Structures are given as structure tokens and as C-alpha cells.
Amino acid sequence: MRTQLDTLVTGALQHGSAVPAFTCYDFTTALAVVAAAEESGRGAILLVAPKTAATPNGLRLITALRGLADAAGVPIAVQLDHAADPQVITDAVSAGADSVLVDGSSLPYEDNIALVQGVRAALAAQGRADVVIEAELGGLAGDEDRAFGTDVAEEPAGLTDSAQVEDFVSRTGAQLLAVAVGNVHGKYKGEPRLRWEVLQDIAVRTRIPLVLHGASGIPAEELVKAAAMNVGKVNFNTELRTGVLALLEEQTTAHRADGENLQALLGHWDASARTFAATALATLSR
């Protein structure tokens, strides 16, 4: 069913839970995520990568996800992830995305704010003031779509500066805030080291929910602590891909021999993504 992403996340936080978000490059994965969410009776978020949204077929995928989300038995949001191109953002919203991470984190501070404000104004001018905006302060290392591994640094660059949080949130009007606290996109080389003291310092400076990107590789016992620090949304991508690709690699030969049985192979894809989503939902739920 349709939901406002901020309402979904705030509601989860009130129960000490966080909502998982999963990158969907395709419809098979999205179906599996929604099925897992329905089985658990909890809401979830379908993330669309900006490279996906930048293509005509990607926009058609967003429209298909919109239909899937609206027909689901639990609240499902469709979010355009990490977008900085205003055209891609407006196209994705027109196609059916109900929320956007307006990502100016690689820009100087004032430009980051101006980007978020500009997108907010453009959406309002289109009559889409309802679109929920997440903004990002601080920069994450790693690639969003390909996982090559990032060294775990003692003092990671790009940590969110907690002193900027109040000003950033009030001037951008962001409804969720993505933070950099030692998390990275892709794989961690070594044990991930989240900077809980930075997260704590951020959490006391704003009431809007925080978002933890780069959750793949962070142990479940760490992730469960996040909601207590107002982290209401946790983003997964790499681990989901790892599981699906490993199973496809293992199963493809047998399924080719079984009369080029793509249908059964897709069943394995579904099972892998569904199990991953179910585990994340259970981990983050209280």
C-alpha cells in the first residue's frame, strides 16, 4: 500500500525499529522484497539507483515498482537513491517515485544546501510538494553500484560534521538525513568500524530520522543498535547482489542442462533476495 516514507520510518522508530531499504535493479528482486515484507507484516523501501532512473527503461521500472508498491499488503515506498541531476529527479517522480535522496554530499556545504532547496522548489512548482526528501551530509567512500572494497580507516574522511546538522536540516527542510559515520558503500576491507559517538552527537541535534547507507557487511548486532540513535532507515545493496549472484553461479549450469530453464533459475533468484530481505526485516524489527 502507498505510504509516505517519512511516516513509515517515524512509525517504525516509535517502536524501536528501523525500516530496511533495498536497491532493486530489476523487477524480480523487487517482487522478492515485497513478498518478504508482506510475510513479515512490515513495511519496506524499494530503492532505485540513479543510473537506472537515467534510462527510459529504468523509468518504466519505477512505474512498475509504483504499481507493485500500491498493490502490496504492507506499506512500501519507492525511493530514487543518490540523485543529483534535477532532470533525473523530476523524471523519476513523474514515473512514480514517492521520495528522493537528493545527494549533494560531494558538493561544498552551501552547494549541497542549494541543491536540496532547488529540487524542493522544482517539485513544489510541479505540484509535487508531497515527495519526501532525504538529504546527505558527509560523504561515504565506495561505489554505489559496484563493490570493490574500501579500507576501514582509523579516521575516515568525510564523516558528518555534527556541528552542521541543525543548520543543514533547517535550511534544506530535509525529512530524513543520511549520515557518514564510518559506513561505506560496497565491501569493507576489514571489520567495519561505525563511529557511534559521532552518530550519537548527530542524533541529539535533530529530530528527523537518520539514514544509514552502506549496511552490507555491518554485523547484525551492530545494526540493531542503530534505531536507538534515531536511525530509522537502513540501506542494503551489495549483500543482496552477492547472494543472488552466488546462487545463479551455482545453479546456472544445471538449469541450462534442464532445458534452458530460466523460469526455475529465477525462482532461485527470488529465494535468495527474499531470504536476504526477510533477515534484514527481522534484524531491524522490535
* Beta carbon nearer to ligand 13P, 82 or 120: 82
Nearer to ligand 13P, 90 or 238 (CB): 238
Is residue 235 near ligand 13P by the rule CB under 6 A?
yes
| Helix/strand/coil (H/E/C) assignment for every residue in the chain | CCCCHHHHHHHHHHCCCCEEEEECCCHHHHHHHHHHHHHHCCCEEEEECHHHHCCHHHHHHHHHHHHHHHHCCCCEEEEEEEECCHHHHHHHHHHCCCEEEECCCCCCHHHHHHHHHHHHHHHHHCCCCCCEEEEEECCCCCCCCCCCCEECCCCCCCCCCHHHHHHHHHHHCCCEEEECCCCCCCCEECCCCCCHHHHHHHHCCCCCCEEECCCCCCCHHHHHHHHHHCEEEEEECHHHHHHHHHHHHHHHHHHHHCCCCHHHHHHHHHHHHHHHHHHHHHHHCC
238 contributes a contact to ligand 13P by CB under 6 A: yes
Q: Least distance to ligand 13P from the beta carbon of 47, Å?
A: 6
> What number of chain residues touch ligand 13P (CB under 6 A)?
15
By CB under 6 A, residue 50 contacts ligand 13P? no
Q: Is 81 in the site for ligand 13P (CB under 6 A)?
A: yes
Of the candidate residues 42, 195, 213, 274, the single one contacting ligand 13P (CB under 6 A): 213
- Residues involved in catalysis: 81
Q: How far is the CB of 220 from ligand 13P (least distance, A)?
A: 14
> In whole angstroms, what is the distance from residue 267 CA to residue 58 CA?
23
**Whole-number minimum distance, CB 204 to ligand 13P, in Å?**
24
Q: Which of 10, 150, 175, 237 binds ligand 13P (CB under 6 A)?
A: 237
Q: Which of 66, 120, 185, 274 binds ligand 13P (CB under 6 A)?
A: 185
Please choose, out of 8-16, 194-202, 209-217, 253-261, the segment that lies near ligand 13P by the rule CB under 6 A. 209-217
Among residues 3, 10, 17, 23, which is the contact residue for ligand 13P, using CB under 6 A? 23
The interface region with ligand 13P, picked from 11-19, 114-122, 153-161, 207-215 by CB under 6 A, is 207-215
Residues that bind ligand 13P (CB under 6 A): 23, 47, 81, 144, 185-186, 213-216, 235-239
